[in-house]
Structure 1
């Protein structure tokens, strides 16, 4: 017996139509469903006790795969999870960084930890500025003695102190570079703690970095000594070539000097992260240098570009600040000594040197703290790219362990801590959001 078509009444003696089944107790048919053949169009389905929920299809009445009909809530394609942005508990998001995020994180670090970063950099800059100021005043006073030179013997006597002051200037520059290398390792402490929004005071910073001072002094001494030996070797080779070949040696000395500068920059950038490695990862001098060399592998040009742009920015800012300082110093000199003589010139020079030195120390402390922050964030970025440090930082953020330590160090991963946490938290989900079961 053939089945009736949908929407047609069955032949006599057959089954009743769908929707008109006899109900027990002579109950009315289930709902008030429309008969077959009179179904509403797509988008007009009746709802029990309420208006329709599906909207009509787009113009043309065609449903395109991959696009939900109008009225459906927006969401990801079927079977794909929602995108959850990496958390940003502190100055940077916990993922590999972009150039703008490194600059922004550096500014935020200085703003949040002004006492520790700006104060420490100011101490070093003031010490260097005072020494340079003393050497400058001595050089100016020594230059006045050349006016009374009348013989070769007097000239030789005057050149002795002159070379001594020149050596003093070089020594002060080397000392500032040495202390700057040590301070760069110390300033990585507030930067790494700011990644997890942990503020660091002046005393706390030096307390955390204190056990690593001796390795920092060692790596700073090694880098400084290596740089001095390299410069001395190039100068010595140039002197020998000029002695043997005369002016023709210039054809060899110029490429040699250019190659030495390129090699110095390349090696310097390869080893620039050693102070940060020594403090955060608690390594020795040799291991810190080797670790910095490995971290910068295949990233040298990126590091060079960031460092060069930051150096240009810092140089422009310093020059902009020094221009009004120079104008003020010249105005003070004209007011204090309108008719200059030897004594008034010396007093004016001392006054203007003190003013320019103080301003230079303030500007230098800010720029040094900013450059140290950039270097520290480059180190954190490379570790997130190579070591998965972002996952470790997420674990610290979730558990809140080691709140007084340095994030990223070896003590921040206790053996009895499982990952992911026992609560089932996704590593990529922000705190308080559990994944769907």
Structure 2
């Protein structure tokens, strides 16, 4: 992928002739142009230059394509995910340590030995510190997730066509989109949270409707508002299918996280003497073990879920905008 808007939406202008030394855009050869639904010369064939066949995908092919992308680019994806997960989790742990006593005091409140006034006073004193630590930790995880999802989006864009890509190249392509993506993620999180607070159903509906904001913003290089519009347009008419794939991805990610975190949770329980005291789970040793488990789990699940989202976006464009034809042309020209 280059700086030419090869992933541009059909609404964006794409009828300019390529400049000297540039690759033509999708659906455009030197001196010749084609529309999105106009077949190129020669017979149509389903080709697979990269991690997916260039045709509308099944749910299984989307999941398999995500795993194949991680296996084909392990250093770029798993390595970056491990670094991001380690940095965010470790800093998050360090941020929460000053508030650990407050949190321990909050979970150790005994209603049998304290009056309601004492419990309320203790809870009021500890609440600001607990919420402050949780907010800072959540913010760090959000920033790390935004970076990783955008960065992986660029890699999957190359992986679809089987193109080699380096970390420097992926970073240069993603860097201009980092701040817009952070803003879009904060906005979508706010909208989805408000919808969930009003009722669970609107929150879920909004979550699915705006699930494709990240790939639209990064690959199409559009603005925040346009990315929301593109996601809504692509999901329209396929809400339930998109919901099913995203839900399946959540279940797979949860199972992987549970399997990975279980040994560290058991080790933490052993280190505290298998006590039922909830305060014991907040000991430094137990928290360190749980942090290690969270790092390993996030290293696997974050790239997987991000890649699935990008491939859902590609699938929706192939189904609704005929992009499989454009991708086949791009593969025939050796890239975007």
What's the CA shift string for 1:391-416, capped at 9, x where partnerless? Answer: 22221222225xxxxxxxxxx4xxxx
Contact in 1 for aligned 2:195/2:206 (Cα 8 Å): no
Residue number in structure 2 paired with 1:112: 72
**Residue in 1 aligned with 2:303?**
369
Which of 308, 322, 329 is the equivalent residue of 1:388?
Answer: 322
Give the Cα–Cα distance (whole angstroms) in 1 for the partners of residues 120 and 91 of structure 2.
26
Partner Cα separation in structure 2 for residue 199 and residue 185 of structure 1: 18
2:154 and 2:174 in contact (8 A); partners too: yes
Contact 2:153–2:218 (CA under 8 A) maintained in structure 1:
yes
CA distance in 1, matches of 2:114, 2:136: 31
TM norm structure 2: 0.75
Q: What is the alpha-carbon distance in structure 2 between the residues aligned to residue 302 and residue 121 of structure 1?
A: 28
Structure with more contact order per residue of length (Cα contacts < 8 Å, sep ≥ 6):
2
In structure 1, what is the Cα distance between the partners aligned to 2:234 and 2:168? 30
Q: For the Cα contact (< 8 Å) 2:89–2:141, is it kept in 1?
A: no
Superposition pairs for residues 196-345 of structure 1, below 5 Å? 196-230=161-195, 234=197, 260-334=199-273
SS at structure 2 position matched to 1:282: coil
Look at both structures and tell me which one has the larger radius of gyration over its CA atoms: 1
Give the CA deviation at 1:116.
2.2
Distance 1:179 1:147, change over 3 A: closer
Please tell me whether the aligned partners of residues 189 and 280 of structure 1 are also in contact (alpha carbons under 8 angstroms): yes
Deviation at 1:174, TM superposition (A): 4.8
Q: Alpha-carbon deviations, 1:182-226, whole Å to 9, x = none? A: 532321111111111113232221111112223212212222333
Aligned to 1:133: 93
Aligned equivalent of 2:154, options 189, 200, 212 = 189
8 Å CA contact 1:182, 1:275 repeated in 2? no
1:187 match: secondary structure: helix
Q: Once superposed, what is the RMSD of the aligned Cα atoms?
A: 3.2
Return the offset for 1:134: 4.1
1:130-189, Cα deviation, whole Å (9 max, x unpaired) = 354346655652334867997857962663233321343145335524542453232111
Q: Where in structure 2 are there 5+ consecutive unaligned residues?
A: 1-42
Greater share of helix: 2
91 and 147 in structure 1: CA distance in 2 versus 1, 3 angstrom threshold: closer
User: Do 1:115 and 1:202's aligned partners in 2 also have CA atoms closer than 8 Å?
Assistant: no
Deviation at 1:311, TM superposition (A): 0.9
Aligned 1:47-126 pairs, distance under 5 A:
85-126=45-86
Deviating more after overlay: 146-155 vs 364-373: 146-155
**Number of positions where the alignment pairs a residue of Structure 1 with one of Structure 2:** 288
How has the CA–CA distance of structure 1 residues 211 and 132 changed in structure 2, closer, same or farther, with 3 Å as cutoff? closer
